[in-house]
Amino acid sequence: MAGEDADASSGGNITKRKKTRAKPPPSRSSASGPKVPDVKPPAPPSQAPPLSVTDESMRTAVTELIATNNRLRRAIKNRDAEIASLKAEVENLKKDLVEADMLGKQQAEDLLTVKQEMEQAKKQQMLRRGSSARRLTQRKHHPLNPEASMVDPSDGTVRKGHMGRMASLATADILEALPIIETDILAETFVELYKDPTASVDYLASDSFALDILRLCEKAKHVFEAESRCLYLESPTFVFGDTHGNLEDLHFFSDNIWRLGMNLHPGRFLFLGDYVDRGLSSLEVVTYLIALKILFPHKVFMLRGNHETRDVNGWEEHYGDRSFIAQCKSRFGEDRGEEVWEELNQVFDRLPLAAVIDHEIFCIHGGIPRPLPGSAPGASRLDMICRVPPVSGINPPYDHEEEHLRQLASECIWSDPAGEDQEESGELGPDGYGDSPRGGGTICFGNLAIDDFLREHKLSYIMRAHEAHSYGVSLSKGARCFTVFSTSKDHNQGSRAICGCVLVDFDRMEVITRSPHYRNQYVHRRDSVSLAALPPNELEAREKVGLITEVPSEDSDEYDDYDDMYDDGYDEYGYEDYYEQNGEEGAEGGGYEEGQPPPEQSADGAGAGGPAAAEA
C-alpha cells in the first residue's frame, strides 16, 4: 500500500490512514424459506453520569465532621492561648520571686544592722551600769557572794558561776537525762476524750468507738497478763474502791488528784475492782482506766472484782439496762455489743487479784481467802495467789483452772468481814471463817481469821472494797480492816452519800472524800437547768452514753423502790425462793461449789449466785 500511505517527512508530518466504510453483511436468506429481517447491532452502552451527594445521612455526617473539626481547631487555639497565659504567669512569678529574694536579703541586712546597733547600745549601757556599780561598790559592801559551785560526778571537776545561771544549767542537765517515753496514741486519745465527753457524744455511740475499744483491749491483754497475780507496790499510793460506771465521781478524783496528769504525779494509783455495772457510764470508766494503765503501766494498777466476771456483768435479768452487757448492746447493737463485752471480759480475766503496799498493807477487792488444804509445805496464801493462772475466768472457770486455785480466787473477790452479830453469836468456825449473808457459798472472815492472816504474812492492815458506805471509807475489826468505796451513787446510800479513797504515804494514811456539794460539768439529771437549752436529739444522744440520768430523787419513795429492786432483791429473786422452788438438795446440787455462785441463771430468776451474792 505504498501508493495509499505517505511516509512521515522530515518536517514532522503525521501519517494519516485512509478510512474506508465497512460493507454490510449479506442478508440471510434461503431460496425456499421466508426472508429474515435485518437485525441491527445493539448500540454501545452510554457512559454513566458522575456521582453526586444526594443522600441526606451522608450530608449530615459531612456537616458534623466539619463542625467537629472546627470545634477542635477552636479548642486547640484556646489551649494554646491558656498555655501562653500560664507561661506568662510563670514568668511573672519568677520575677516576683526574684524581687522577694532581693527584698528578703535587704530586710536581712537591715535586721543585721539594727541588731548591731542594739548590741552596741547594750554594750554602752552595760559600761555605764558598770561605772555606776563600781561607784556603788565603793560606797557599800555586800557580804554575800551569789556564786555556786557544782561538782561533776563523772570526773570530779568543780564548776563555779552565778547561782541562778548554775541552777538553770543543772535543771537543763536533769531534763536532758530523763528517758524519752513513747506514748500510745490510741490510749492517749481515750484519756483526752474523757476530759470533756460532751464534745464527743456522737463518737461514743458509734461503731468507730467500739472498734477502738477492741484495739485497746488487744493492747491491754498483754500488759495485764505479764503482771503477777499479787502485786508488790511502794508508797505513796492512792487506793480506790468500787467505781461502778460512775464517771462523775471518777472525774472528781482526776480533777483533784492527778489534774496535771498522772505522769507528773509522784504517787501510784491502785484500783480495787468493780469498774462496771450499775452506773450507766461503765464503758467510759473501764476504758479510761485501761487507757491509763497502757500509758503508765508502772503507776496505774487494777485489781479484779466480782463484777469483772461474766456471771455477774452478764446478769441482764437482774441488773436490767444497768448491767454491763445491756449497756454494750444498747450502745453498739446486739452483735457488736456482745463482741465488745466479751473482749473486755477477756481483759478482766487477766487482772491481778491482790496487792501489798510497803509490805504492810494487804489490798484486795473482797477479803482474805481461807488456807488451802493440801497446799505445798511452807507456801503462804500470798504464794498461792501468785499461782493462780494469769488467765482465769473464775465465774465461770476455764477448763485449765484447777479447782482449789479457782476457789481461792473466788474467795478473794467475794468474801466480806463478818458482822459483829456473827462474831458474838458464834456463827464463825474455829478458824474465824463462816458463811456470808450474801449466800451462794460465799464466806466471811472474823477477828480470828484476820489475826492469823496478818501474823502469817507479817502485815499490819487489810484494805478492801466490795461494800457500799455512805462516807466513802469505813473501819472495822479493831481498825485493822479498811473498806474503801469510790462511788456515791446507785447503792441506796442516800442523797448525801460521798465517795472516797485512801492515800498510803509511808507511815501515814490519809482519807480523801468528795463533798456532797461537789458538782461536775458532764453528768446531769434530765431536769437539770444546765440542760434546758439543749435540743431533744442532743439530750437523747447524751442519755444514750450515760451523761444524762433519769434516776429520781434519792429522798423520794420512788428512789427507794428503785434501789430495793436492784440492791435488796434477795426476797424477790434470791436463794430463799430458789430453795423453796428447787429444794435445799437441788440448790446444793446445782453445779456450784462453796465460794462460787452458780455459773448460769435459772429460768425462775435465781442462780448465778443470786442477787444478794452480787450486790457490791
CA dihedral 607, 609, 612, 613 (to 10 degrees): -170
Poorest-pLDDT segment among 42-46, 148-152, 530-534, 538-542: 42-46
Residues 310 and 412 in one domain: yes
Single-letter amino acid, residue 537: N
Residue 595 near residue 411, CB atoms below 8 Å: yes
Mean pLDDT of the chain: 79
Residue 272 near residue 308, CB atoms below 8 Å: no
Residues 330 and 311 in one domain: yes
Rounded CA-CA distance 306/466 in Å is 8
Q: pLDDT (tens digit, 9 = 90+) per residue, 130-156? A: 665 555 555 544 455 556 666 666 666
- What single-letter DSSP state applies at residue 601? B
Given 251, 307, 491, 524, the catalytic residue: 307
Rounded to 10 deg, the angle between the 324-332 and 207-225 helix axes is 140
Q: ∠ CA 478-480-483 to the nearest 5 degrees?
A: 110
For residue 541, the tally of other CB atoms under 10 A from its CB is: 18
Helix (H) or strand (E) holding 464: strand 461-464
Poorest-pLDDT segment among 103-107, 177-181, 195-199, 498-502: 177-181
Q: What is the pLDDT of residue 125?
A: 78
**Cβ partners under 8 Å of residue 438, min gap 6:** 414, 416, 609, 610, 612, 613, 615
Q: What grid cell was written down for 67?
A: 463542625
More confident residue, 496 or 316: 316
Q: What is the pLDDT of residue 101?
A: 87
Residues 520 and 595 in one domain: no
Could you confirm whether 365 is annotated as catalytic?
A: no
CA proximity to 367, closest of 405, 296, 415: 415
Residues 594 and 527 in one domain: no
**Cβ partners under 8 Å of residue 565, min gap 6:** 572
Residues 349 and 491 in one domain: yes
Q: pLDDT (tens digit, 9 = 90+) per residue, 61-102? A: 888 899 899 989 999 999 999 999 999 999 999 998 898 888
pTM over the 0.85 mark = no
Residues 230 and 366 in one domain: yes
> Is 143 a member of any domain?
no
For residue 332, the tally of other CB atoms under 10 A from its CB is: 22
CA proximity to 574, closest of 557, 599, 597, 594: 597
Residues 530 and 581 in one domain: no
Residues 490 and 577 in one domain: no
Single out the residue in 73, 105, 125 at which a domain terminates.
125
Q: What is the pLDDT of residue 155?
A: 65
CA proximity to 343, closest of 585, 292, 335: 335
Q: What is the pLDDT of residue 199?
A: 86
**Cβ partners under 8 Å of residue 554, min gap 6:** 494, 495
More confident residue, 439 or 589: 439
Region class of 490: left (phi > 0), else alpha (psi between -120 and 50), else beta? left
More confident residue, 560 or 35: 35
Q: What grid cell was written down for 600?
A: 448460769
Single out the residue in 76, 108, 125 at which a domain terminates.
125
List the domain range (segments joined by +) for residue 537.
Answer: 186-562
> Is 487 a member of any domain?
yes
Residue 610 near residue 602, CB atoms below 8 Å: no
> Is 15 a member of any domain?
no
Residue 422 near residue 446, CB atoms below 8 Å: yes
Residues 238 and 305 in one domain: yes
For residue 283, the tally of other CB atoms under 10 A from its CB is: 26
Q: pLDDT (tens digit, 9 = 90+) per residue, 11-70? A: 444 444 444 455 555 554 444 455 555 555 655 555 555 545 557 888 888 888 998 999
Q: What is the pLDDT of residue 103?
A: 87
Question: What does the pLDDT average to over 301-326?
Answer: 96
Question: Which percentage of the chain shows pLDDT scores above 90?
Answer: 48
Residues 192 and 278 in one domain: yes
Q: What helix, strand, coil percent values describe the chain, rounded to 5?
A: 45, 10, 45
Q: pLDDT (tens digit, 9 = 90+) per residue, 428-485? A: 999 999 999 998 889 999 999 999 999 999 999 999 999 998 899 999 999 999 999 9
> Is 307 a member of any domain?
yes
Q: What is the pLDDT of residue 269?
A: 98
Rounded CA-CA distance 548/542 in Å is 6
In this model, does residue 217 exceed pLDDT 60? yes
Q: pLDDT (tens digit, 9 = 90+) per residue, 591-601? A: 333 333 433 33
Q: pLDDT (tens digit, 9 = 90+) per residue, 161-196? A: 655 555 566 666 776 676 666 679 999 999 999 888
More confident residue, 517 or 403: 403
> Is 427 a member of any domain?
yes
Residues 586 and 538 in one domain: no
Give the three-state DSSP class for 292: helix
Q: What is the pLDDT of residue 138?
A: 52
More confident residue, 24 or 338: 338
Single out the residue in 562, 588, 605 at which a domain terminates.
562
Q: What grid cell was written down for 190?
A: 481515750
Rounded CA-CA distance 376/455 in Å is 19
What CATH number did the domain enclosing 389 receive?
3.60.21.10
Q: What is the pLDDT of residue 44?
A: 58
Q: What grid cell was written down for 81?
A: 492561648
Question: What does the pLDDT average to over 491-517?
Answer: 88
> Is 508 a member of any domain?
yes
In the block, cell 482474805 appears at 368
In this model, does residue 115 exceed pLDDT 60? yes
Residue 464 near residue 364, CB atoms below 8 Å: yes
Residues 517 and 605 in one domain: no
Question: Which percentage of the chain shows pLDDT scores above 70?
Answer: 71
**Bridge partners of 601?**
607
**Bridge partners of 464?**
483
Strands (E) in 236-286, as ranges, are 237-240, 268-271
Total domains present in the chain: 3
**Cβ partners under 8 Å of residue 506, min gap 6:** 235, 236, 358
Give the three-state DSSP class for 405: helix
> Is 9 a member of any domain?
no
Question: CA 430, 431, 436, 439 torsion: positive or negative?
Answer: negative
Split at pLDDT 50, 70, 90, the class of 581 is very low
> Is 290 a member of any domain?
yes
Q: What is the pLDDT of residue 612?
A: 36
More confident residue, 152 or 306: 306
More confident residue, 284 or 112: 284
Q: What is the chain's alpha carbon radius of gyration, rounded to the nearest angstrom?
A: 48
